Structure 1
Amino acid sequence: MLRVGVLVSGGGTNLQAIIDQVESGQLTGVSLEVVISNNPGAKALERAKKHHIPALCVSPKSYATRDEFNQALLDELEKYQLDLIVLAGFLVVIPEIMVKRYPNQIINIHPSLIPSFCGNGYYGLKVHEAALARGVKVTGATVHYVDAGTDTGPIILQKAVEVKEGDTPEILQRRVMEEAEWKLLPAAIQLIADQKKAAE
């Protein structure tokens, strides 16, 4: 069984896509152990509780320094003996201590086809605003491993999404979620679960 922890900052639609696939039996060999948010008001925490998944907040505001917050987040994750950490809209820079502790065990979903529109400053609607400003005809989403850089780790899966005439950043964001993100993230977790099973 692949023990998974999910880190979220907001609404948790990607988390919901994972929960739905686990509960429907489409995503197998996976156990959702914990959901952690940096934001006490994140709707994602409610989603987790509704499905009886431990949900907690580790907020940077509760700590005097960033290092203390980073250590607290790592300490919390350690309690759950996780095989995989999934960043599902987690708007916190992953600290180096976490990347070192979980090499090739942290994955992120990014709402573009990396290497386009990624790196520092590209998150949320900003990615879609940049894609529309550039006039691209195709965008999409990428699931990748997290390393010490921003959106620089090895790519696991990508899916293209058409940009349509008249798209606003909000409309494009929604289409990328529905057509790419909500499918890619569970698929990537399944790949990793299958690899773990094959190695056992």
Structure 2
Amino acid sequence: MKKRLAVFVSGGGTDFQSIIDGVRNGEINAEIAVCVASKDGIYAIERAKQNGIRYEVYKKSDYGSAEEMFEKISGLLDKLKVDLIVLAGYLTILPSAFVRRFKGKIINIHPSLIPKYCGEGFYGMKVHEAVIKGGETESGATVHFVDEGVDTGEIIARAKVPVMPGDTPETLAKRVLEAEHKLLPRVLKMLCDKNN
């Protein structure tokens, strides 16, 4: 039985593309049931369209509260019989009720070696700026289960990359992203094979 994935996105969707490629080439024994986007006009939606993947946009501004929005999303995921939720560059904090409802079924990829440079306020380029400012010699990416804290869930796997002399946040981000594109499909392969 193929696992059914929901991929949550907020931007260009390069991690999403690595999942699409992994599913298409048979590395990941799964199908992408839906792409959940946090806003219109992001390139991740184009990737969904190009690959015939259903996508739905849920914007916080359209709902009275995050809880209300995620109640709607929960209904969709239940209807689509989703087995695993992948946060692939999704910048909205999940409400506790949603996390509890899908406990053990939500994973996130974070662009640092957790427990360093994670938690509230550490996302995107801010992470890489902090790593360079901190004088680190290595950074990387971490895939972890999501719990009710921010970036505090059980770590599944990490990939390390060097921080080079003269790195800018942009050059480091590119190197970390390349590591993410290998790490995320590898973790998904493991999770989808494990429970079959």
Q: Which residue identity is paired with 1:19?
A: I
Residue of structure 2 in register with 1:11 after alignment: 12
Residue of structure 2 in register with 1:168 after alignment: 168
For residues 85-133 of structure 1, the C-alpha deviation after alignment (integer angstroms, 9 at most, x for no partner) is 0000000001112111111100000000000000010000000000000
- Do the aligned partners of 2:66 and 2:95 also contact (CA within 8 Å) in 1? no
1:152 and 1:67 map into 2 onto residues whose CA distance is 21
SS at match of 2:195: helix
- Taking the TM superposition and a 5 Å limit, the aligned residue runs for 1:106-117 are 106-117=106-117
2:54 and 2:41 map into 1 onto residues whose CA distance is 16
Shift of 1:49: 1.2
Shift of 1:77: 2.0
- After superposing the two structures, state which structure 1 stretch, 95-104 or 2-11, moved more: 95-104
The number of equivalent residue pairs is 195
> What is the Cα-based RMSD across aligned positions, in Å?
0.9
2:119 and 2:136 map into 1 onto residues whose CA distance is 18
Structure 2 gaps, min length 5: none
1:75 and 1:25 map into 2 onto residues whose CA distance is 29
2:158 counterpart of 1:136: no
Shift of 1:155: 0.4
2:121 and 2:128 map into 1 onto residues whose CA distance is 12
Residue of structure 2 in register with 1:155 after alignment: 155
1:40 and 1:79 map into 2 onto residues whose CA distance is 23
2:23 and 2:71 map into 1 onto residues whose CA distance is 30
2:72 and 2:147 map into 1 onto residues whose CA distance is 20
With the length of structure 2 as denominator, give the TM-score of the two structures. Answer: 0.97
With the length of structure 1 as denominator, give the TM-score of the two structures. Answer: 0.95
Q: Percent identity?
A: 46
- Do the aligned partners of 2:15 and 2:88 also contact (CA within 8 Å) in 1? yes
For residues 51-106 of structure 1, the C-alpha deviation after alignment (integer angstroms, 9 at most, x for no partner) is 01101101111112232222122222222111100000000001112111111100
Shift of 1:140: 0.4
SS at match of 2:72: helix
Shift of 1:187: 0.8
Structure 1 gaps, min length 5: none
Q: Which residue identity is paired with 2:113?
A: L
